[in-house]
Structure 1
């Protein structure tokens, strides 16, 4: 709003302009537009610009008093944090929000957002007052972003949603507070998107909240440590997307929502019950501390989510090789596996062929490997050993696209790649990125920071492994690629990752 003026000066400036602009309007060359058009233009301005323009125009001043977007943050209020000035910023934030809401007409608010930082020291009574003032009938979006310290000291006032004021809200995003809707709470009838981060709410309270949200389409709960059981009732017919992450005490997730199609879960393992009629087609799953997520996925998920079409698995610690299974993912077309943590040397990447076998209609496969902890035997360590092949193996007849990010010189990864080339009879594209995170795969020079002309700092160990991986591609992979397959090789940057690497001189196998 007014970065260089104190709140008192801001008030006097607006009052002065409000009473004095009448005699000066002739000097302004305003286009001759209807007042409602000017109000529309004004409503589309950012909060800071909208406040400034209200100081020079009576038309804008009138529309300012019913401005539809009230977004209160350090940026929109013109507050710049400087060293040693936290107290002034805290006082300025409270004063400016008070001033704006005091002069607002209590009508027309569509979007309300508070971004409150740790050093603002906003009193909870101020928060309650602001919400009671700004949440009015017709409001559509409410966002309250609080610092972590408020998690145990502030409870969102459910009373602010009573008397029909919450029935027009379609988007609600709360962080780091307590939210305790009582039994029979039915004040969010239009709610389509609900995001809760760090919110103290029990499973029963969340059930009370969503039980009457018949328009709910998207539910996301993260770091909600009071949740033990999450149940999604069958009458939420519009719910299509569910995200649950880092709710450490959560033990059970049950959903009978008939049209839930996208489900993301990240955290410790839970009992997952989706029902026999589950229509989940896109599932992303990652377990924070439990090992062997890939093995869990291939053995358990065919029964839990039988209609999957896209499966993404994040493994933070894989200790055992992927087993062969009799059950199939008969609908999966896209499989993505990300090894984002330690993969023990005992893990055999070639065993991932069993996952490909379990997906008979698979069309694309993405594998991501963390090169920073490559402890597997290199394909160059024993030049006399031959690459393994799996005899009488199932053909991957529909697999068209394969991408391996972080391709390394591990012998079992080279063997997996050769296996795919032999058995994927419809393969159209193979991408091997030898240095994970670089851009423009396939170009000779591909700096990950093109504007500065230099790649981001990368350890010598990773660069050395990338050169070895590129050597493995040239020696063992290239000649096996059919002419019908487009091969994309992402090698180390030829500008930033130059390194002398001596590879064993052995004949191709």
Structure 2
């Protein structure tokens, strides 16, 4: 017995000696419980590279949450770092959970247990990122969510993402804005909230906030104005599905340059007085704009679901509303009248992208009238026309042979136009006429691409490919038999009416149906 006591004392002495710093050493040599041999109770010798502890902490902070937790089991340096880990990413995948394994109640219990355990062992210091994705847990307890936010939102937090959209019990969860008051919100730069109520009050000042994203959030226009007026560093604002906003008032924030508004169904008016917004993306019912309201916008992308003849309204109104736009993307689902000739000009427009969908598209619409849009853009360099249709409704160029091809002799030359792309090119007579007109009027044209199937993807170099043209196993999206047959008619139209009119200095690229996916 005495011999065993002496052996135990010697082992304890060696353990204490191993934990003491060596002379001239910058860092300590560490041993963890994982290094202990349970059977022989022997120690494995292990030494970490000679680095300052703050460097180890930085390395640890770069690891994904699950890996950071694992290495904390084998190093005391990482264990201390784990208790101050800056990035808390609570997502099903990062926590090693299966989204559809077992019963819903068991999955939620497992998720709650892991998050509670991590936050319980976290010191609360140094948290910079909090990402809580609750899409897979509709029965999460709001009290647990309140506790998580309270434990994680501290003065040094920089990013908050909360996703609880479509959650059965917390879809109207009221985000506790009081947690962001004072010191807690001073460093916040990114706020992304999904599927809950967000009710900011006058006292909330997020002076460091750079990006604000609200998706399906219950917030009124006045509440949003209250928040924006005190967010002096804000650069990007994104609103999606915020159905309580009727009038969106954007204060003249000096750094706010990007505004994205998507599917806010009650929105009727947007006011942007003296704003510096240069990029504006909009999807939804067309709101009211005043003359010059978008005067500083250079990149404009609009899709209006409630407006018939959107192209007609765009060419007649937008030159006055957004006179300095340089890139314009328009999506129309209902063109019943032709695009008119106008006196107003897009004097700075260099890039024009128009998409026409046949959802409520009139077969009487004249594609050739789009030349009026080109006439209104004297410095246009790139023109893209995309046609989405399940069947070709227009009169084919192979229809009545007695109808001659129309000429647009009265139109001016398009001296700056260099690149033209038509996706979903078909045998519609007016579309063939538009193509011939561009070939005749665009004196600086370098390349024209005619894609007979509006179903494509681009590779890393930006070149459009069919899946049959590469070794990629990815397949093209399915297309109906009628449009595959129409694509072959379009190829015949190109060969018969267009190829002979292409100047020698212009490259013509014709994209045929995929030989693997688009067979009849």
User: Does TM-score exceed 0.5, indicating one fold?
Assistant: yes
Return closer, same or farther for 1:176/1:291 CA change in 2, 3 Å cut-off. Answer: same
Q: How far does the alpha carbon of each residue in 1:320-356 deviate from its partner, in whole angstroms, 9 at most, with x for none? A: 1111111111111111101134321011000000000
Contact residue 442 and residue 490 of structure 1 kept, 8 A: no
Higher mean Cα deviation, 450-459 or 103-112? 450-459
Give the Å deviation of 1:35: 1.8
2:376 — aligned with what? 358
Return closer, same or farther for 1:273/1:112 CA change in 2, 3 Å cut-off. Answer: farther
Higher mean Cα deviation, 24-33 or 405-414? 24-33
Return closer, same or farther for 1:128/1:257 CA change in 2, 3 Å cut-off. Answer: farther
**Structure 2 residue 84 is the aligned partner of structure 1 residue 66:** yes
Which SS does the other structure have where 2:338 is aligned? coil
Contact residue 291 and residue 316 of structure 1 kept, 8 A: yes
Return closer, same or farther for 1:36/1:463 CA change in 2, 3 Å cut-off. Answer: same
Q: How does 1:323-342 map to 2 (within 5 A)?
A: 323-342=340-359
CA distance in 2, matches of 1:162, 1:322: 52
Give the Å deviation of 1:448: 7.8
Give the Å deviation of 1:427: 0.6
**Structure 2 residue 186 is the aligned partner of structure 1 residue 162:** no
Give the Å deviation of 1:28: 3.2
**Structure 2 residue 277 is the aligned partner of structure 1 residue 260:** yes
CA distance in 1, matches of 2:464, 2:273: 48
Which SS does the other structure have where 1:121 is aligned? coil
Q: How does 1:70-219 map to 2 (within 5 A)?
A: 70-149=88-167, 152-186=171-205, 188-219=206-237
CA distance in 1, matches of 2:457, 2:294: 42
2:20 — aligned with what? none
**Structure 2 residue 491 is the aligned partner of structure 1 residue 491:** no
**Structure 2 residue 259 is the aligned partner of structure 1 residue 242:** yes
1:482 — aligned with what? 503
Contact residue 89 and residue 120 of structure 1 kept, 8 A: no
Give the Å deviation of 1:373: 3.4
Which SS does the other structure have where 1:317 is aligned? coil
Q: How does 1:403-482 map to 2 (within 5 A)?
A: 403-439=421-457, 446-447=467-468, 450-452=471-473, 455-482=476-503
1:296 — aligned with what? 313
1:13 — aligned with what? none
2:58 — aligned with what? 40
5+ residue gaps, structure 1 = 1-16, 500-509
1:321 — aligned with what? 338
Contact residue 332 and residue 362 of structure 1 kept, 8 A: yes
Contact residue 250 and residue 275 of structure 2 kept, 8 A: no
Which SS does the other structure have where 1:337 is aligned? strand
1:7 — aligned with what? none
CA distance in 1, matches of 2:479, 2:294: 48
**Structure 2 residue 398 is the aligned partner of structure 1 residue 377:** no
Contact residue 250 and residue 271 of structure 2 kept, 8 A: yes
CA distance in 2, matches of 1:24, 1:295: 83
Return closer, same or farther for 1:474/1:444 CA change in 2, 3 Å cut-off. Answer: farther
Contact residue 339 and residue 370 of structure 2 kept, 8 A: yes
Contact residue 442 and residue 489 of structure 1 kept, 8 A: no
Contact residue 174 and residue 196 of structure 2 kept, 8 A: yes
Which SS does the other structure have where 2:468 is aligned? coil
Contact residue 357 and residue 389 of structure 2 kept, 8 A: no
Q: How far does the alpha carbon of each residue in 1:151-209 deviate from its partner, in whole angstroms, 9 at most, with x for none? A: 653000011112311110111000110011112321x1100100000000000000011
How much is the aligned-residue C-alpha RMSD, in angstroms?
2.2
CA distance in 2, matches of 1:192, 1:453: 38
Q: How far does the alpha carbon of each residue in 1:95-152 deviate from its partner, in whole angstroms, 9 at most, with x for none? A: 1111101111111111110000253511111111111110111111100011224665
Contact residue 33 and residue 74 of structure 2 kept, 8 A: no
Q: How many residues align?
A: 481
Contact residue 438 and residue 447 of structure 1 kept, 8 A: no
Give the Å deviation of 1:257: 4.4
Q: How far does the alpha carbon of each residue in 1:419-466 deviate from its partner, in whole angstroms, 9 at most, with x for none? A: 000101111110101111235799997538853375443211111111
Query: Which one has the largest radius of gyration?
Result: 2
Give the Å deviation of 1:72: 0.2
TM-score (norm 1): 0.90
Contact residue 35 and residue 43 of structure 2 kept, 8 A: yes
CA distance in 1, matches of 2:143, 2:32: 31
